[in-house]
Structures are given as structure tokens and as C-alpha cells.
A and B are shown apart, each in its own frame.
Chain A
Amino acid sequence: MSYTEIFFYIFAVLSILFALLTVTRRNAVHAAICLLLTFFFIACNYVLLEAEFLAAVQVLVYAGGVVGLMLYVIMLVRKDEADEVRQSLGQRVIAVFIAILFVLEIAFISLLAYYGNYSGFLSSKMAQIGGNTESIGAVLYTYFLLPFEVVSVLLLAALVGAVVLAKNRIER
């Protein structure tokens, strides 16, 4: 077994372990911290797959931003009210159904990648440029220029929405 494989199994087991801890903790803050570690170990696996850009996004946006937002939302909720809320929503059947769908999707993608030689868009171009981040930069600002600029409009909409939502509550 190569070193890469050994590290893959270590990070994979740790990310699954912390994902399980995330959904089983009663204390919401503990769950958020476990989620942070789950994101971090998934980022470790991205590094092993030489997807450095994805790893950077995972750490910057998910571990940094999204968990920060979740912790904030937890602090926004009143403790005594949160303790009275029922922990289970009784959606076990739907949850199992969605989980099975996800497993099938991952299996389908893996089979396509393994047998069908679908190694993704522009993989030959990627080899010429050399490097994951470079090739994303090469296509994002040329072929996908319009979606890229639309993203900034989307972010603008989110910003305006947040200000409008919070503003009413600040003035009250």
C-alpha cells in the first residue's frame, strides 16, 4: 500500500467519524465544531487527489465561512427555546430514500469515470497547461466568462437580501 493510500484511508475514516459525530451531538455548538473537522478532512482528501483549488475553497469557504455562519445562527437562537424543540423531525423514511439516491449517484459517477473514460471536461488541455488551479483559471476567464460575471451579480443579490432582511430588525 502506498503512502497516498494510507493517508487516504486515515482522512476518509476521520471525515466519516466526524460526520457521524455531527449528526449525533445534542449540543449544537459541538455539532458545528465536528462539521468543521469533517470539512477539514475532506479538504485533506482533495489535496491527496491533487485538487488543490478545491481544497483551498473547502477550507476558505466551507470551514471558514459556512461554519462561522452556522455558529452565528446557533448563537442567535435562545438557549432555553432551543432545548424545548424536539430533536427528531420524524423524517427517517425520506432521509433513507435521499441517502440511497446519493449512494446510487456516486456509484454511477464512479462507474462512468472507471469504464467510460469520462475524465471530465478539458482533461487533455489541463495536462498541457499543467496544474489544477492554472487550468481552472484558463477556462473560467475565457470559455466561462459569462457565468463568472453572473456569479458576481448573484453575490450582489445575496448581499442586498441580507441587508434588507437584517435592516428591518435593526430598526425595530
Chain B
Amino acid sequence: MYQAISPYVPVLILILLAVLFGVVTLLIAWLVRPNAPYSEKLSPYECGVEPLQPGKLRMSIRFFVIVLLFLLFDVEAVFMYPWAVMYKPLGWWGFIEMALFVIILFVGYIYAWLKGALEWE
């Protein structure tokens, strides 16, 4: 008998397959490979050159502006989602509202641009 399933079941199957792919590959490699480590073998691989400095460097503050810009426009995209779903019933009035919303944020984007926050010299 036919039974309706949730549209999210394929998503679940995809995620499970993705996780299993990684886990099973690592498991098989762990079972098959020989285990004979020594210090050179365990050192980080840097294109054959000996490692010069620790792997953890401090990131530049410039990335902070980029990450925050991403987060803000991420939130903007979230507000567009229910608007896009209700686009037809809201009509022109809805379009004007969203245009106003985007213009206010665009002013901020231009400000960041003019201030040189996006520059990399």
C-alpha cells in the first residue's frame, strides 16, 4: 500500500550516505594500512619542505569585516525568503517594501566600500 513520506526523507538519506562514505573509507583504510609511525612520517607535510613556523597563525582583522558583511547579508537573505514565497499576494506594495529594505542595506555596503574595508593592498 502506498504511504506518503516526508519530503525530507531524501535529505536524510543523502546526509546518512555522505557521513557513511567518510566513516567507511576511514575505517577500511584503518583496517588495511600498516601501522609503523616515526617522527618524520608524523610531521606536517609542507610540499616536501621542512615546516618553518607553527600552523596556527593569527588571521588579519580584514577578514572580520568580510565575515561580518557575510553575516549581515545572510540575515538579509533570510528576510527575502518569506517575501519570495508570498511575492504574488503581496504585489507591488511588497516589492516597494523589500526595495526599501535592500536600499537601506545597500547604503551600508557603499559606506564599507568607500571606507576601503574591502580593499586588499
Contacts and interface: CB of A to CB of B under 8 A. Distances in A.
B34 to A, nearest CB: 29
A78 B62 CA distance: 16
Interface residues of B, number: 45
Contacts of A76: 58-59, 61, 64
Interface string A119-146: 0000000000001011011101110010
Contact of B104 (A79, A152, A162, A163): A152
A103 interface: no
Contacts, number: 127
A60 B104 contact: no
Interface string A18-51: 0000000000000000000000000000010000
Interface of A: 47, 53, 56-57, 60-61, 64-66, 68-69, 72, 75-79, 131, 133-134, 136-138, 140-142, 145, 148-149, 151-153, 155-156, 158-160, 162-163, 166-167, 169-170
Given A149-B104, A167-B115, A169-B61, 10 more contacts: A64-B74, A76-B59, A133-B81, A137-B85, A137-B86, A156-B104, A156-B107, A159-B111, A160-B108, A170-B61
